[in-house]
Amino acid sequence: MILPEKIVTNRMILEQPVPTFALAEEVYAKVALSIESLHRWLPWAKLDYSVEEEFAYIYHVQQKWQEKTGFAYLMRNSKTNRFLGIVDLVKIDEKNKIGEIGYWLSNDAVGNGYMTEAVQALEIHCFAAGINRLIIRNDTQNLRSANVALRAGYHLDGVMRQDRWDEVMQKFADTNIWSKLKGE
């Protein structure tokens, strides 16, 4: 499947990242600003996360785009060009037409509805590209993430009980599985 390199929403431009050190520094600065909240919920967000790791991530994203196996977008305010966060489509199952949406926002972009807007814009293109079932997963304690799924109209399929080891809390954790089907 293929998704557009750029998606325009009411307030944002979602764009494919091109790996440059300047971009890695820009995104890294927002990760650093937000590391406490990201660290709680995202396993990659270690407290000693570095700009080199950010560059490696963006390079990896470019490879996934080229292979057409993953599609991560930088979210930017279309008026100011300010970087807001990342939304992506990953874990694409071509046979069953399933994909998973993931996301994070910089702390200074939370509370404005940007992620709900981004998810709703991305899903239109996912369904148009042939996806039949979109999934969002989150820790059952991650209420902000659950609220994005709810606001965007996803259905709570259920809870996978203790399906993950939570490194931060040092305990097994439960995962919500949300879905939206084409046409819903």
Ligand X SMILES: CC(C)(COP(=O)(O)OP(=O)(O)OC[C@H]1O[C@@H](n2cnc3c(N)ncnc32)[C@H](O)[C@@H]1OP(=O)(O)O)[C@@H](O)C(=O)NCCC(=O)NCCS
Q: Which two tokens stand for residue 179?
A: 């879905």
Window contacting ligand X (CB under 6 A); options: 24-32, 55-63, 67-75, 139-147: 139-147
Q: Residue 141 carries which DSSP code?
A: T
Which residue, 10 or 94, has its beta carbon nearer to ligand X? 10
Residue of 27, 138, 178, 180 that binds ligand X (CB under 6 A): 138
Q: Using CA atoms, how far apart are residues 110 and 15, in angstroms rounded to an integer?
A: 19
Q: Which two tokens stand for residue 54?
A: 């950010």
Smallest CA-to-CA distance from 184 within 147, 129, 131 is with: 131
Binding to ligand X in span 56-95, by CB under 6 A:
none
Query: In terms of CB distance, is 21 or 114 closer to ligand X?
Result: 114
- How many Cα atoms within 13 Å fall on the side-chain side of residue 36? 3
Give me 25's structure tokens: 């520094």
Should residue 115 be labelled a site residue for ligand X when binding is judged by CB under 6 A? yes
Q: Is 114 in the site for ligand X (CB under 6 A)?
A: yes
Instruction: Tell me which residues touch ligand X (CB under 6 A).
Output: 37-38, 41-42, 103-105, 110-116, 138, 142, 144-145, 147-148, 151
